[in-house]
Amino acid sequence: MSLLSDLRAALAAREPAIVVRVERAEGSTPREPGAAMLVTAGAVFGTVGGGALEMEGIAEARRMLAAGEREGRLDIPLGPAIGQCCGGRVVLGLERGTSAMLERLERADATARRAWPHVYLFGAGHTGQATARALEPLPLRTLVVDTRAERLAELPGGVEPRRAALPETEVAGAPPASAFVVMTHDHGLDFLIAAAALARADAAYVGMIGSATKREKFRRFLAERGEGERIGRLVLPIGGSAVRDKRPAVIAAMVAAELVVQLLGQNMNQDCAGFAPA
């Protein structure tokens, strides 16, 4: 998570900093408990929702920095106190950043990451690259599978490249409730991967890039294998059909949104796992 790297950098530079996080949120509020930001004398990283609430948190954090204080709390009724239209109530906790805090956050982050849903993205071509970039900042463990080392080398650093001579064999080793997104450079390979994914009854999502014609060809492919009923679990087109735009970045944005709804539908907050409410 970015707060970790921001806090790590502040400590390395001996820059005093305050972590501001949402401790409690009642009613309509801009962010949920656990959302956090890091405030220094000259910069702010992350967000607790923006607007007047965030400005109150920043001002209090900088007052604490100037006064040398280590902990604080703000209890803010959004409408009556600061005129914010959400109308709920937010309690912000403020704590000076320390090495002990960093260690606590690192442990909590490692635990949280182990629970992240897995996304297996097959294909590191133009659309695969765009999709990997769209998924990178999300609380998902994204693995990109391809046969081509040179394409895997172009991926962003936050995803895991995996070179495989037979990409379809990677499906079997995926943990339960994984998502499978299929967009390789070869339709025949797409069919093998998607068929293997659909054979997993525990797959949370199986999607394949393509058209109605490709779906029909794949349906016949499954039927010939005696697996025709599985086509009902396939998402094709991926990213929905409301936007007809084939640019890689647009497809990537739509697919990322689809996966967030499917995999993170419980409104999990991952901003600052070490400060998430009990």
Mean pLDDT of 88-94: 91
Give CA–CA dist 83/15, Å, rounded: 33
Percent of the chain with pLDDT over 70: 92
- 94 - beta bridge partners? 20, 72
Listed residue (33, 12, 28, 89) closest to 56, CA to CA: 89
pLDDT tens string 169-221: 999 999 999 999 999 999 999 999 999 999 999 999 999 999 999 999 999 99
Residue 125 has pLDDT above 80, yes or no: yes
Q: What is the per-residue pLDDT for 266?
A: 58
Q: What is the pLDDT of residue 271?
A: 54
Per the CB < 8 A criterion, the answer to whether 88 and 150 are in contact is no
The answer to whether 159 touches 144, Cβ cutoff 8 Å, is: yes
Q: What's the confidence (pLDDT) of residue 50?
A: 84
Query: How would you class 114 by CB atoms within 10 Å of its CB: exposed for 0-12, middle for 13-18, buried for 19 or more?
Result: exposed
Query: pLDDT tens digits for 26-45?
Result: 888 888 898 999 999 999 99
Of the candidates 23, 1, 6, 22, the residue with the CA atom closest to the CA atom of residue 97: 6
Could you tell me which residues are beta bridge partners of residue 120?
143, 180
- What three-state secondary structure class fits 49? coil
For 235, phi then psi, to 5°, come to -95, 110
Tell me, what's the pLDDT at 154? 97
3-class DSSP state of 253: helix
Report residue 84 CA to chain centroid gap: 28
Is residue 53 a contact partner of residue 30, using CB atoms and an 8 Å limit? Answer: yes
pLDDT above 50: residue 91: yes
CB atoms closer than 10 angstroms to residue 112: 18
- Looking at residue 3, its pLDDT comes to 86
Is the CA virtual torsion 271, 273, 274, 278 positive or negative?
Answer: positive
Mean pLDDT of the chain: 91
Q: Name the helix (H) or strand (E) containing 252.
A: helix 248-263
Residue 99 in contact with residue 24, Cβ under 8 Å?
A: no
| Residue 88 pLDDT class (50, 70, 90 cuts) | confident
* Predicted pLDDT of residue 277: 43
What confidence category does residue 273 fall into, taking pLDDT thresholds of 50, 70 and 90? Answer: low
- One-letter amino acid identity for 222? L
Q: Tokens in use for 144?
A: 């990109």
Task: Identify whether the C-beta of residue 11 lies closer than 8 Å to the C-beta of residue 53.
Answer: no
Q: pLDDT (tens digit, 9 = 90+) per residue, 161-170? A: 999 999 999 9
136 pLDDT band (50/70/90 cuts)? Answer: very high
Q: Is 169 helix (H, G, I), strand (E, B) or coil?
A: helix
Task: Give the three-class secondary structure for 120.
Answer: strand
Percent of the chain residues topping a pLDDT of 90: 77
* Per-residue confidence band for 253, with pLDDT thresholds at 50, 70 and 90: very high
Distance CA 237, CA 255 (A): 10
Give the model confidence (pLDDT) of 7-31 as tens digits. 999 999 999 999 999 999 988 888 8
CATH of domain 116-268: 3.40.50.720
The residue extents of the domains of the chain are 3-110, 116-268
How much is the average pLDDT of 149-159?
95
Strand order in the sheet with 141-146: 160-163, 141-146, 118-122, 179-182, 205-208, 234-235
The model's pTM? 0.80
The pLDDT assigned to 278 comes to 38
> Is the pLDDT at 87 greater than 90, yes or no?
no
What is the CB-side half-sphere exposure of residue 46 using CA atoms within 13 A? 27
